[in-house]
């Protein structure tokens, strides 16, 4: 039996034995998506409810951290705690505190790609699918927003509000490489395809896109669209999620691993089947978040949900 199938079977067995579930981000390798009980975007997975005793988070570390904060009664495991994120790493609590002192009346809206310690200082926590809605609903014309400057620019354009970016230049090392020129090349190569872009991409790419949304929103849009072919401006693992969930349509990455090393997020790529198996066997690496920090971050999540539910 090929090694990959063996690993998949062993992981499935371990999940049953240990009463564990695997939450897998949409960017995971195809094989990791196959062993995941739920796949989704970072916000969706954070709010997932489960009866299992153990959650293995197949995604980057800030995602495992927020699962631990929101599920204090579960054991949350990260297969590789070194799987960071350039956005999450770009904003620390001390920097955010300084901005809060500079703009004491401005609500703090943080993108979900932040550490739990930074989230604990936020008023609202958003994903790319909720950022514009939340900022529009806030009763303030000045908003502190971080850490993604591209998403901040997009929100500023869509809402007309003054967005104070913290840090001024936070970037995702994958999406920051996309350009209008790459879009034009892809459009020439795939003349029947329309372009879906993740809002972490630069504004020039978002302006050229036919659809802008989070990874879950891309799946939804592709399912419902009358079009059958899509150029996808986001991390290349997303092609796996789209092919699994929308098997009757065609998806082309804006950049491939052959054309640019930036196609694959090096942090997401650190989560492998081998590491997931070891994580389940040895129950490593447990992610612990101090209760007080977890409570504050949880309040910010709940405040956001309440705001979004308000008409
Ligand atoms: P989503 O929340 O859209 O899944 O994006 C997470 C991420 O890391 C994008 O690079
Ligand atoms: Fe972070 Fe970018 Fe990787 Fe997403 S793709 S985890 S934003 S570095």
Percent of the chain with pLDDT over 90: 94
- 28-55 pLDDT tens trace: 999 999 999 999 988 889 889 999 999 9
- Of 42 and 290, the structure prediction assigns the larger pLDDT to 290
pLDDT at 176 over 60: yes
**CB-based contact 151:200 (threshold 8 Å):** yes
Residue 281 assigned ligand-binding role? no
- 116-126 pLDDT tens trace: 999 999 999 99
What CATH class has 175-263? alpha beta
Residue 42 assigned ligand-binding role? yes
pLDDT at 214 over 80: yes
Mean pLDDT across 257-274: 95
Structural tokens at position 101: 């002192």
Residue 215 assigned ligand-binding role? yes
Q: Select from 24, 27, 84, 90 the residue to mutate for testing ligand 1; criterion: most ligand atoms less than 8 Å from CB.
A: 27
Confidence of residue 159 (pLDDT cuts 50, 70, 90): very high
Environment class of residue 224 by beta-carbon count within 10 Å: exposed (0-12), middle (13-18) or buried (19+)? Answer: exposed
Task: Please indicate whether residue 113, judged by its CB atom, sits closer than 6 Å to ligand 2.
Answer: yes
Mean pLDDT across 141-166: 97
CATH 3.40.50.720 fits 87-171, yes or no: no
Residues with CB under 6 A from ligand 1: 26, 41-43, 113, 127-128, 172, 200, 214-215, 235
Mean pLDDT across 112-116: 96
Ligand 2: atom nearest CA of 266 is 3
pLDDT score for 311: 76
Domain ranges of the chain: 3-84+268-289, 87-171, 175-263
Mean pLDDT across 184-210: 97
| CATH fold of the domain at 3-84+268-289 | Rossmann fold (3.40.50)
pLDDT at 1 over 80: no
pLDDT score for 2: 58
- Ligand 1 centroid – CA 296 distance (Å): 22
Give the CB-side neighbour count of residue 217, counting CA atoms within 13 A. 14
Fold agreement between 3-84+268-289 and 87-171? yes
Q: How many CB atoms lie within 10 A of CB 14?
A: 19
Q: Please give the DSSP secondary-structure letter assigned to residue 227.
A: -
Q: Which phi-psi region, left, alpha or beta, contains residue 256 (left: φ > 0; alpha: ψ -120 to 50)?
A: beta
CA-to-CA distance for 148 and 169, rounded, in angstroms? 7
Residue 198 assigned ligand-binding role? yes
pTM beyond 0.75, yes or no:
yes
- Ligand 1 centroid – CA 247 distance (Å): 21
């Amino acid at each position: 039996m090929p090694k990959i199938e063996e690993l998949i079977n062993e992981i499935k067995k371990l999940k049953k034995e240990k009463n564990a579930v695997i939450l897998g981000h949409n960017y995971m390798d195809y094989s990791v998506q196959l062993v995941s009980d739920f796949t989704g975007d970072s916000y969706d997975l954070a709010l997932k409810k489960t009866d299992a005793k153990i959650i293995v988070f197949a995604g980057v570390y800030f995602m495992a951290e927020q699962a631990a904060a929101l599920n204090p009664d579960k054991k949350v495991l990260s297969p590789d705690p070194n799987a960071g994120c350039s956005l999450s790493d770009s904003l620390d609590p001390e920097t955010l505190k300084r901005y809060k002192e500079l703009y004491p009346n401005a609500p703090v809206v943080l993108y979900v790609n932040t550490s739990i310690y930074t989230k604990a200082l936020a008023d609202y926590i958003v994903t790319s699918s909720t950022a514009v809605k939340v900022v529009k609903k806030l009763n303030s014309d000045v908003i502190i927003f971080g850490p993604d400057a591209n998403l901040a620019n997009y929100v500023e354009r869509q809402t007309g509000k003054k967005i104070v970016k913290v840090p001024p230049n936070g970037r995702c090392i994958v999406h920051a490489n996309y350009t209008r020129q790459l879009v034009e090349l892809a459009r020439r190569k795939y003349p029947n395809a329309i372009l879906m872009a993740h809002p972490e991409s630069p504004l020039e790419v978002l302006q050229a896109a036919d659809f802008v949304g989070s990874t879950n929103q891309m799946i939804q849009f592709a399912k419902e669209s009358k079009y059958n072919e899509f150029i996808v401006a986001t991390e290349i693992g997303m092609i796996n999620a789209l092919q699994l969930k929308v098997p009757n349509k065609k998806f082309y990455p804006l950049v491939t691993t052959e054309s640019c090393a930036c196609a694959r997020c090096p942090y997401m790529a650190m989560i492998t089947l081998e590491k997931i198996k070891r994580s389940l066997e040895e129950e490593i690496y447990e992610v612990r978040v101090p209760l007080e920090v977890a409570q504050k971050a949880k309040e910010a999540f709940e405040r956001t949900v309440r705001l979004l539910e308000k008409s």
